[in-house]
Every structure is written in structure tokens, then in C-alpha cells.
Amino acid sequence: MTSVKILAGALAVLGLSAGISAAHVVLETPATEVGKPYKAVFKVTHGCKGSPTVKVIIEFPEGVIAVKPMPKAGWQITTEKAPYAKEYKFYHGLVLKEGVKRIVWSGGSLPDDFYDEFVASAFIAGELAADQELAFTVTQQCEQGEMRWGETAEPEHRDHLEYPAPLLKLLPAPKGEHHH
């Protein structure tokens, strides 16, 4: 019995207790500097009321540019490109006017008892203002049901959201650094 209590305590410390079933789709790294590359790791921690996840759709907010999905065994990937609202400076003097705004992973199956990560490489445009948050919209389609993680609110009201959007806090770039 003692080993069960120790294991339960260890799982609770690691955040792997029964509470994970109530978790949301979240970003593994919820803050980054403007004008820098960013590896967006979206953690999908459960299905839809017990039903396996079969499709994950991620919509990228304005200013998240040069998006490239990471292949995922057992899943097909499609991307949708669109014009950006404005032009953004990128590496080596390039100016980007359009890019991937949406990624769809489909054809796989993520059982409710497991979690997985859906990953994309991106660049956080240097033209964006620091000290703001960008909201991603993630649609999680299951064999039965769907959840759209896209709700936003002021920080003091976020605990009341049923389907909160994954948020990325933008930090100022260190003084003197310029990568364009």
C-alpha cells in the first residue's frame, strides 16, 4: 500500500494525476521573444469525453510566420497558406507576404488514455509588440465530438473558460540583438 501512495504522490507532483483528464490543449513553452524562431509544441492531453482524437487543426495568429509542421508517424499533414495582414521581415533580408496559417493533422488516432504533441516550427515576427499574448485556435476532432480551444479572456477570468485558447506571451528581444 505504501508503494501505491508513493506512486500516487509522484504522479501528482508530475501533474499526471486524474486532473490531467480535465486539462486543455496547451503550449509546452508559453512565452518567447519577438524576432526569434519558436518551436510550437501543442500538447493534446485527452480526447472528447472518452472518444479518441482523430484530427487536430491549428490556426496560427497574425505575426507567427514561416510556419512548418513536423511530420508525425501515422498522421497525414495538410497546410493552408494565406496572405499575412502585412509584410514581415525575415532572415537574410527576405520579406514574407504570405505563409502557412493553418495546419491539419488527420488520419491518426489518439486514444483518450494517452496524450501526444503536435509540433510546428515558426518565427515570431520582430514587428510584433512585446508584452502581449497571441491566441492560437486548436480544433480537436474526435471519433465522437469536437472541441474548439479558442476562447480568450482577461487573466482574472480565464479560470472560467470552458475551451481556452493556447496562449503565447511575447517577450522583448534582448537589447542589441537583431536577426533580420
So where are the chain's domains? 21-171
Res 23 pLDDT > 80: no
Query: Binning pLDDT at 50, 70 and 90, where does residue 24 land?
Result: confident
Given this model, what pLDDT does residue 179 score? Answer: 53
Percent of the chain residues topping a pLDDT of 70: 84
Task: Tell me the mean pLDDT in the region 123-151.
Answer: 97
* Alpha carbons 168 and 180: distance in angstroms, whole number: 21
Percent of the chain residues topping a pLDDT of 90: 80
Q: Is 136 exposed, middle or buried (0-12, 13-18, 19+ CB in 10 A)?
A: buried
Fold adopted by 21-171: Immunoglobulin-like (2.60.40)
Given this model, what pLDDT does residue 99 score? Answer: 98
Given this model, what pLDDT does residue 42 score? Answer: 98
- Digit-coded pLDDT (tens) for 83-132: 999 999 999 999 999 999 999 999 999 999 999 999 999 999 999 999 99
- Digit-coded pLDDT (tens) for 3-19: 444 434 433 434 333 33
Give the length of the chain: 180
Other Cβ atoms less than 10 A from the Cβ of 74: the count is: 9
- Side-chain half-sphere exposure of 29, counting CA atoms within 13 A: 14
Given this model, what pLDDT does residue 178 score? Answer: 55
Contact 162, 147 (CB under 8 A): no
Task: Tell me the mean pLDDT in the region 144-154.
Answer: 95
3-state secondary structure of 78: strand
